[in-house]
Amino acid sequence: MGEITGQVGTRSWALTFHAFILCLVRAQSALLVVGVLGLCGCAVVGPQSISAGRGVYTETINRTSDEQTLNMLVRLRYDETFGMMSVASVTANLQFRAQAATNIGIGDSDDYAGNLVPLSAGVAYEENPTISYVPLSGEKFTRRMLSTVSVDEWLLIGSGARDPGRVFSLAVRRVNGLRNPLLGEESPSPAFARFIELYDQLRLAGVLDVVAGPESKTEPRYFWDIHDYDEEQVNSVRELLGLIGIDVKLDGSPIILPLREAVGSSGSAIHVQSRSALDVLHVFGAGIEIPPAHLEAGIVEPRTSAIRLINIRSSEKRPENATVRIRFRDRWFYIDATDTQSKQVFLFLQTFIGMRLADPGAAQKAPVITVPVK
């Protein structure tokens, strides 16, 4: 009996060991399958992370940029300091982990039947973004803020404007002696509003264009080109040029007038004195609705403007239908989503800030530190 029992025990152990090896082979195959699925998952997660993440990052950057610009205008209107920061880079660290496990029973199956999980797998995906900011400050920023905006910059900024006369009015302080202060104690020239009206009319009609001449250090680069005016437009052209002191013969031939950055009048050229970026921001700030309580308390001084470019409203309650809003001094300042003109002007302001105030080389000079978040 002892011999027979020993043979049976040996045979049973051999079968169990064979089953164990078979389970290991199956588990290895299962892990290989999970690994392949994990690699496929990586290939899928990459594009999906771009399609899902890029729009979110863009939307957030745009929204916070609008809020920063509105905050700057409001604080400037209240004569308080402000700061601006530009997003230099966004670095997103993507981590993808796959894990698998299997349970193998050894011995009598009655001991583990129904309690084993043949195969389990898990997938983990993490995205750890690092955002680098560059503060807009220092000597370069101050110079950009206080120096006058060049004719080149104004022409580029206003190239796609729907109201060229409004942009021209915002750009210049004087045109051949015609005053256009917009803000301050100095009164505007009575003829300036009519000049802008005629300028806008002729530009939109395609009669007056601003053209570039050949590069030269001594000669003007830009010119007014008045051309193709019909009999009905002759009077408008004559009145426009007469308002700025230019007398020319209108016989239907093109009229070319050099555009110069200069102070004073001229009988043969367009002399313009442009504004600084700070002046432009003050003009936009004049469109902010100031709560009466703040005026009565002397927190902010009243200000008048010859034109109101934008309508920035204020409210004690959080506005729901706003394209951009900020919280300042227990009030909400915002641009209503239904105010199409103010939204267009705000878009123009964002273009102006991006071109005039932002340092294009700041992102390259700024240190970028990537710290993974576990």
Alpha helices of the chain — where are they, by DSSP H? 2-77, 138-146, 151-157, 164-171, 192-204, 231-243, 277-285, 292-296, 340-356, 362-365
Query: Which is nearest to 273 in space by CA: 173, 147, 153, 145?
Result: 173
Domain boundary among 275, 303, 327: 275
Verify that 192 and 217 share a domain, yes or no: yes
Residue 296 inside a domain? The answer is no
Verify that 107 and 177 share a domain, yes or no: no
Verify that 166 and 237 share a domain, yes or no: yes
Query: Which range, of 58-62, 282-286, 360-364, averages the lowest pLDDT?
Result: 360-364
Is the predicted pLDDT of residue 30 greater than 50, yes or no?
no
Verify that 165 and 58 share a domain, yes or no: no
Averaged over 93-121, what is the pLDDT?
A: 61
Domain boundary among 254, 275, 296: 275
Helices (H) and strands (E) in the chain, counts: 10, 11
* Cβ contact 93:367 at 8 Å: no
Q: pLDDT for 175-227, tens place per residue? A: 998 988 787 666 777 889 899 999 999 999 999 999 988 777 777 789 999 99
Question: 311 falls in which pLDDT band (50, 70, 90)?
Answer: very high
Structural domain range at position 59: 2-137
Residue 100 inside a domain? The answer is yes
Residue 212 inside a domain? The answer is yes
Mean pLDDT of the chain: 78
Averaged over 13-35, what is the pLDDT?
A: 46
Averaged over 265-285, what is the pLDDT?
A: 91
Strand order in the sheet with 255-261: 178-179, 172-175, 270-274, 255-261, 222-226, 208-212
Residue 154 inside a domain? The answer is yes
Does 169 or 95 have the greater pLDDT score? 169
Averaged over 345-351, what is the pLDDT?
A: 91
Domain boundary among 226, 260, 275: 275
CA 304, distance to chain mean position in Å, is: 29
Verify that 257 and 166 share a domain, yes or no: yes
When divided into structural domains, the chain yields a total of 2
Q: What's the pLDDT score for residue 61?
A: 85
Does 2 or 285 have the greater pLDDT score? 285
Its pTM surpasses 0.85: no
Verify that 188 and 125 share a domain, yes or no: no
Is the predicted pLDDT of residue 106 greater than 50, yes or no?
yes
Verify that 183 and 268 share a domain, yes or no: yes
